[in-house]
Amino acid sequence: MGNFEGKVALVTGGAHGIGKGIAKQFADKGAHTIIVDYNEENGVKTAEELTFGNVKSLFVKTDVSDPKALENVREKVFAEFGRIDILVLNAGVAFANKVNNISFEEWNKTLAINLTGLFNTVKAFYDDFLDNKGSIVYISSGSALSGTGGGVSYPASKAGGEGLIRGLAKELGPKGVNVNAIAPRLIDTGEMMRVNYPTQADLDAVLEKIPVRRLGTIDDVANLAVFLADPDNSYIQGQTILMDGGRTIA
Ligand SMILES: NC(=O)c1ccc[n+]([C@@H]2O[C@H](COP(=O)([O-])OP(=O)(O)OC[C@H]3O[C@@H](n4cnc5c(N)ncnc54)[C@H](O)[C@@H]3O)[C@@H](O)[C@H]2O)c1
């Protein structure tokens, strides 16, 4: 397990945080990476960092909520690498407003990125997976279960994504494609998480609820993403694996 030499892995939201950590692990294990992100500065930097030895990395500035942009990504991937093996569906946004303060614009934007963005990415590459097996890993969130992590639009979008993944596993499982999700909770990327835990006192209070008494790390998630994407992992299918330091069983 763990050798991805010559494979091609695309990570949405791969310019920062969890997505960047996942892309780095694939590159370290020999895969070429495509960084799909709307942050150009971070995307260019990440692709430079992940180009070394025999591995290349391509940044494509993209808003995953735009289906045409994903078609453009596919064209660039095939022009550069001629194949796709792994999709990591990671791009996501969260807003902390309560229902009475969520505008329709904010609701629609959250779903457009977090849910329709998955559909757009999968649809652009669907036919390629019919021919080439491979793996799809979705970065969901424990919030789909807990209802936390932002205003209701966030857990709603993540729960929708998990449904999409289950349906996709039924479609692509028979074609030899692994389709699974990781549902992290409180991964220390320094930013997205801290929207909900702005002070040290807030963080300390939440650590009391986590049996392992620490926040998750980007590598915790990346390790599991790489495991799930490995071709040797062929009997975990359509699952969402909760990664929350045991909080949910506490
Ligand atoms: N950090 C956590 O504690 C945590 C917990 C549970 C789930 N998650 C999920 O993990 C994923 C990554 O989160 P993170 O904490 O690394 O966030 P992050 O903000 O550090 O990174 C997200 C990346 O996605 C990109 N992005 C956002 N919207 C985009 C769009 N429309 N098109 C293209 N790129 C876009 C951003 O530019 C950024 O580079 C998200 O889906 C998030 O919901 C994070």
* Residue predicted with more confidence, 202 or 173: 173
Burial class (CB in 10 A: 0-12, 13-18, 19+), 243: buried
What is the per-residue pLDDT for 28? 98
Give the distance (Å) from ligand 1 centre to CA of residue 174.
30
The answer to whether position 192 is within a domain reads no
Report the share of the chain in percent with pLDDT over 90.
87
The answer to whether position 170 is within a domain reads yes
The answer to whether position 3 is within a domain reads no
How many whole angstroms from its chain centre is CA 160? Answer: 14
Q: Which of 159, 154, 137, 118 is nearest to 238 (CA)?
A: 137
Is 154 one of the annotated active-site residues of the chain?
yes
d(CA 190, CA 192): 7
The pTM for the full model equals 0.97
The answer to whether position 231 is within a domain reads yes
Give the distance (Å) from ligand 1 centre to CA of residue 26.
18
Can you tell me which atom of ligand 1 is nearest the CA of 143?
Answer: 6
Which of 39, 192, 215 gets mutated to test ligand 1 (max ligand atoms within 8 A of its CB)?
A: 192
Can you tell me which atom of ligand 1 is nearest the CA of 39?
Answer: 37
The answer to whether position 191 is within a domain reads no
Each residue's pLDDT tens digit, 82-119: 999 999 999 999 988 899 999 999 999 999 999 999 99
| From 38, 126, 138, 154, active-site residue | 154
E strands, 13-167, are 32-37, 57-61, 86-89, 135-139
Each residue's pLDDT tens digit, 26-69: 999 999 999 999 999 999 999 999 999 999 999 999 999 999 99
Each residue's pLDDT tens digit, 199-249: 889 889 999 999 999 999 999 999 999 999 999 998 999 999 999 999 987
- Quick check: 151 and 98 in contact, CB under 8 A? yes
Alpha carbons within 13 angstroms on the beta-carbon side of residue 31 total 27
Is the shortest distance between the CB of 22 and ligand 1 below 6 Å? no
CATH of residue 130: 3.40.50.720
- Quick check: 20 and 44 in contact, CB under 8 A? no
d(CA 210, CA 74): 40
Q: Residue 250 pLDDT more than 60?
A: no
The answer to whether position 84 is within a domain reads yes
Range of the domain at 171: 8-185+217-249
Q: Residue 175 pLDDT more than 60?
A: yes
What is the per-residue pLDDT for 191? 67
What is the per-residue pLDDT for 139? 98
How many domains are contained in the chain? Answer: 1
The answer to whether position 71 is within a domain reads yes
Which of 18, 61, 66, 148 gets mutated to test ligand 1 (max ligand atoms within 8 A of its CB)?
A: 18
The answer to whether position 65 is within a domain reads yes
Q: Residue 17 pLDDT more than 90?
A: yes
First to last CA, the chain: 32
3-class state of residue 37 by DSSP: strand
